[in-house]
Structure 1
Amino acid sequence: MKAIYNDQVIAESDNTVIVEGNHYFPSDSVKKEFLTPSNTHTTCAWKGVASYYNVVVNGETATDAAWYYPDPSTLAEGIKGHLAFWNGVEVIK
C-alpha cells in the first residue's frame, strides 16, 4: 500500500493493519519529513484518543491528514505505532 499526497509517496508498506476500512501504516514506513504536528485530538469510543499530523508536500498542506493512537485501548493494540491517512491523501495498492 502507498499513501500519496501532491504526487509524493509519503508512506509505503506491504504490512498495513486495516481497521474500519483504513490502512494503518507502520511508523517506520512513513516519511516523517512530510509531517508536521497538529494540536487536533479526537476520541474513538473503542480505540481511544487520536493525535494528528498535517501532511505538507511542496508547500501544500493537507490539514490533520494523518492520525495515530499514541496509547490505544487494549482492543486496538494492533495499531499502536501505526498511522492512517485521509483528507486529501490517497491510499492505493
Structure 2
Amino acid sequence: MTPERPGPGQESVWDYPRPPRLEATSASIEIRLGGEVVARTTSALRVLETSHPPTYYLPRSDFADGVLRPVDGASYCEWKGVAAYYDLVTRARSAPRAAWTYPQPSPGFEALLDHVAVMAAAMDECTVDGEVVTSQEGGFYGGWITSHVVGPFKGGPGTRGW
C-alpha cells in the first residue's frame, strides 16, 4: 500500500491522526432519501482517522422531523464509545440501521453528542458543497469520499489489517 500524493486543495487520509481528530466544518452537507432531503446543514463535524475518508456527523436538529427512527442494537468504537442506531425513513423509502449516534461519547469526542452520521451507500445521494460523495467500501465504516481526499482508503477487500 502506497499513499497517494495529494494535489492542491486535497488531503491525504494518511496524514489524518490516530487516534482520530474531530473538527467542525462549515461545508454545505445535504442528504437525500426517497426523493426527499432528509438532512441539510452547514454545521457538521468531521471525524478524521488515518486511512479513512472523513465521517460527517450532522446535528440531529438538522434532520427532517420523523426521519430518524431509533432501533435496537449497538456497536463499540475504541475512540468514540458506544453507538446507537437509527433507521432513516421517508414516505417512499427506508434505510435500515443507516444512521448512528453516540449518546454518551468518550472523552475527547463530547462534541458528537446530539450528532448523527449516515452511511452514504444507503442513501439516494449525499453531497458536500454540492459534490456527490462516494461511500467508503466495506459496509462497516461510514466515510465519505470526495475529490478533496486521496487514499488508498481502508474498508475494501484486503485492507482489514491496515
TM score, norm. by length of structure 1: 0.90
| Aligned: 1:12 with 2:44 | no
Give the deviation of 1:59 after TM superposition.
4.4
Out of 115, 128, 135, the residue aligned to residue 82 of structure 1 is 115
Question: Within 1, Cα distance between the matches of 2:81 and 2:31?
Answer: 23
Question: Within 1, Cα distance between the matches of 2:33 and 2:103?
Answer: 23
Question: Within 2, Cα distance between the matches of 1:32 and 1:42?
Answer: 25
SS in 1 for 2:122: coil
CA RMSD of superposed structures (Å): 1.3
Gaps of 5+ in 1: none
| Aligned: 1:69 with 2:111 | no
Q: What are the equivalent positions in structure 2 for 1:1-80 lying under 5 Å apart?
A: 1-20=29-48, 21-80=54-113
Deviations 1:26-52 (A, max 9, x none): 111111311211102100001000001
Deviates further, 40-49 or 74-83:
74-83
Gaps of 5+ in 2: 1-28, 49-53, 129-162
Higher relative contact order (CA 8 A, sep 6+): 1
Structure with a larger share of its residues in helix: 1
Question: Within 1, Cα distance between the matches of 2:38 and 2:114?
Answer: 16
Structure with a larger share of its residues in strand: 1
Give the deviation of 1:19 after TM superposition.
0.8
Deviations 1:49-78 (A, max 9, x none): 000110111242211011000000012112
Aligned positions, number: 93
Whichever residue aligns with residue 4 of structure 1, its letter is R
Whichever residue aligns with residue 88 of structure 1, its letter is A
Question: Within 2, Cα distance between the matches of 1:91 and 1:18?
Answer: 15
Identity of aligned residues (%): 30
Question: Within 2, Cα distance between the matches of 1:38 and 1:32?
Answer: 17
